[in-house]
Structure 1
Amino acid sequence: MSLIMARDSLGEKRSVRMGLASRQALIAYVFLAPALIYFTIFFFYPILLELWASMQSTTDFVGLANYLTAFQDQRVWATFQVTVLFAIGVTLLNILLGLGLALLLDLPFKGRVVFRAVFLVPYMTSMVIVGLMWRNILDPQVGILNRLLFSLGLPQQGWLTDYQLALPVVIGITVWQGVGYTMILFLAGLQGIPEDYYEAAQVDGANGWMRFRHVTLPLLAPTTLFVVIIGVINSLQAFTQAFVITQGGPADATRFYVFHVYNIAFNENNLGYASALSFIMFVLILVLTLIQWRLGNKVVEY
């Protein structure tokens, strides 16, 4: 009899636990429902719609024809090459300059808060405004920079009209606008490193470079991984710089992939082909992000 009562008691406890777990799960789904609805409407549904549109021509269903055309289109490959060069340049310079500024502005000196704010101001400014400002500064005829070079007796440059200069200049403008954000991220990473590590390394006889190499860099790996992933994603989707500053010129030197898609969609009125190109970039960014995440987690130290 006691054994039967014990089993009944155990069964009741399990039923109570299962009922509690069910209620907790229901409450969790209720709170998650707004986010799930939002992502379904504004993220997953547009992706499916884009995939369907990419298999259409102006009037007919064409299947994978748009994708085959994209892989055979030399202009797509050219714009992709320009975009990759842009992404590499912007990401590397952002990391190097952002980390350098963070190391300098992490030092204890008066006015460092002001300097941090100054470097962050361009990031808080719209890229449209930044682009218009730099386009006027670098104008080959009336730009301030060329006038300054002329007054110094130096040769003037076609900053935005020279095929070899245009892409590096746009990279420089993009880095100027975004390096403050990278600096803040690295500053947060530096201030999260315990001071005990540096003291222990100093006791072991490590000089400044050795402390930076064996303490700072490894412990900044999570921040660096985040900066790389965000930098690559943003750079591969660059559009405003080409649209506002150069219109993709000269001779397609700054014709970024997304700008090319925009022109195909709205200037050539080929929405199906533009949708296919957009979906290709979406898949590429997703794959690159996963690869960077997997490779980065192997070297990240916490």
Structure 2
Amino acid sequence: MSFEESRTDTDAESALFEVATSVKQQLGINRDQDNLMGWMFVLPNVVMFLVFLLGPVLFAFFISFQDWNILKNEGTWVGLTNYIEILQPWPWENNFAALKDPTVNLWWYSLKNTAVYAIGTVPLQIFGGLAIALLLDKRVRGKKIYRAAYFMPVMLSGAASAVMWRWFLAADGVINGLLEPIGLAHNWAGDPATALGGVMLMAIWGGIGSNMIFFLAGLQNIPEELYEAARIDGASDWEKFRHVTWPNLGNTSFFVIVMAIISSFQVFGIALAFSAGGPYYSTTTSVLLIYQRAFEEGQMGVGAAMAFLLFILIFAFSYYQYRYRQSEEVDY
């Protein structure tokens, strides 16, 4: 390249730089906001989010106000009719009939099943995972084998776990083979009174292992100097846990609790594979009902409306946990 060509390129770059500087001044962009390279790195992720996540969510919100035909890809505007049909009658009407009888209002009945599932599984998943993590964080012989054994249920697919547990809990299953000699045999998976309990048992079995991993990571980040200071002060094991372990697991426990609550309200795969919502709607959860309405019955508008009602509920729980966590934090 000759000297004249090099000088021409430099002049062109200078002119382009001056134009860019003038544009930034006109737009009010200062030097701290001038991060074009950062925006270029973020742009692909933003585009993917808008196209494949936010776009479908907004479209689902749009069709929740319509009687949508998925085959014709068109719908009729019905306003709030879908939401009104889903919520009526209210659960406190007719002596809480909607919570007792699925034929009165299946949405409220499925929401009750989901709430029972969450209340029965979340505490046991959290405290079970924490207890096992505390045991395996100590010097235990073969603790890597124990960690792998407790984490193994997490590696199984939900469908495989559901089929396995349905076989365990069936009238001629393994569990009844053990209980029959003492007269306690029962069709646990086929009885509406116990079928949801079978799904909950499966969820607890699978959820403890994943929570154990999170708590183990949190325990390993606690400085050993804190425990040494507690031992010097004569603290007991319970006092060490109360004043050292649990406060330092604040961020971990917050994450585990929020994720466990969200997962419990979104339970779908294991309920579908275990009994497809039966017997007599006893394992019909909110997400399973949304799937049945939208994809099995073709009521896309009703399914979308149910999905947004569930979103509002999950958002309220998550936001409450976030605000409660903020109020518990102490600034030093």
Q: Offset of 1:68 from its aligned partner?
A: 1.5
Give the C-alpha shift of residue 97 in structure 1: 0.4
The letter for the 1-side match of 2:60 is: E
Whole-angstrom CA distance in 2 between matches of 1:296 and 1:20? 36
Partners of 1:33 and 1:95 lie apart in 2 by 37
Change (3 A) 1:267 1:26: same
What letter matches 2:248 in structure 1? L
Structure 1: how far apart are the matches of 2:127 and 2:279? 28
Report the CA distance between 1:301 and its aligned residue: 6.5
- Corresponding letter in the other structure for 2:327: K
1:49-64 maps to which residues of 2 (within 5 A)?
49-58=59-68, 59-64=75-80
* 1:65 maps to 2:81: yes
Q: Percent identity?
A: 36
Is 1:127–1:240's contact at 8 Å kept on the other side of the alignment?
yes
The Cα offsets for residues 205-247 of structure 1, whole Å up to 9 and x where unpaired, read as 2111111111111111211110111011111111112211122
In 1: Cα distance, 2:329 partner to 2:257 partner: 13
Q: Equivalent residue for 2:209?
A: 180
Match of 1:204 in 2: 233
**Aligned equivalents of 1:186 and 1:35: distance in 2?**
30
Q: Name the SS of the counterpart of 1:263 in structure 2.
A: helix
- Unmatched 5+ residue regions in structure 1? 1-14
Aligned to 2:312: 283
TM-superposition CA deviations, 1:246-285 (whole Å, max 9, x none): 2212222211001111111133221111110011112222
1:75 equivalent to 2:106? Answer: yes
Cα distance in 1 for partners of 2:311, 2:265 equals 10
Structure 2: stretches of 5+ with no match in the other structure: 1-24, 69-74, 90-104
Q: Tell me the residue number matched to 2:38.
A: 28
> Could you tell me which amino acid in structure 1 is paired with residue 50 of structure 2?
T
AA at the equivalent of 2:281:
D
Q: What residue in structure 1 maps to residue 16 of structure 2?
A: none
Partner of 2:264: 235
Aligned length: 283
Choose which of 165, 168, 173 in structure 2 pairs with 1:143.
173
Q: Which moved more, 1:253-262 or 1:278-287?
A: 278-287
Deviation at 1:169, TM superposition (A): 1.9
Please give the root-mean-square deviation of Cα atoms over the aligned residues, in Å: 1.8
- Counterpart CA distance in 1 for 2:302 and 2:202 is 31
The residue identity in structure 2 corresponding to 1:119 is: Y
Q: SS in structure 2 opposite 1:60? A: strand
CA contact (8 A) 1:79 1:260 kept: yes
Q: Residue 97 of structure 1 corresponds to which residue in structure 2?
A: 128
Equivalent residues of 1:55, 1:61 under 8 A apart:
yes
**Aligned with 1:57: secondary structure?**
strand
Looking at structure 1, the residues matched to 30 and 200 of structure 2 have their Cα atoms a distance apart, in angstroms, of 58
2:153–2:205 contact (8 Å) kept in structure 1: yes
In structure 2, distance between residues paired with 1:30 and 1:272: 37
Matched, 1:37 2:47: yes
Q: Give the TM-score normalised by the residue count of structure 2.
A: 0.81
- Contact 1:246–1:254 (CA under 8 A) maintained in structure 2: yes
- 1:109 is aligned to 140
Equivalences for residues 249-264 of structure 1 within 5 A: 249-264=278-293
What amino acid sits opposite 2:324 in the alignment?
Answer: L
Conserved 8 A contact 1:137-1:144: yes
**Corresponding residue of 1:131:** 162
Determine the C-alpha separation between the residues in 2 that align with 1:163 and 1:289.
31
Higher helix share: 1
Distance 1:172 1:221 in 2: 27
Alpha-carbon distance between aligned partners in 1 of 2:330 and 2:203, rounded to the nearest angstrom: 30
| Distance (whole Å) between structure 2 residues aligned to residue 296 and residue 95 of structure 1 | 17
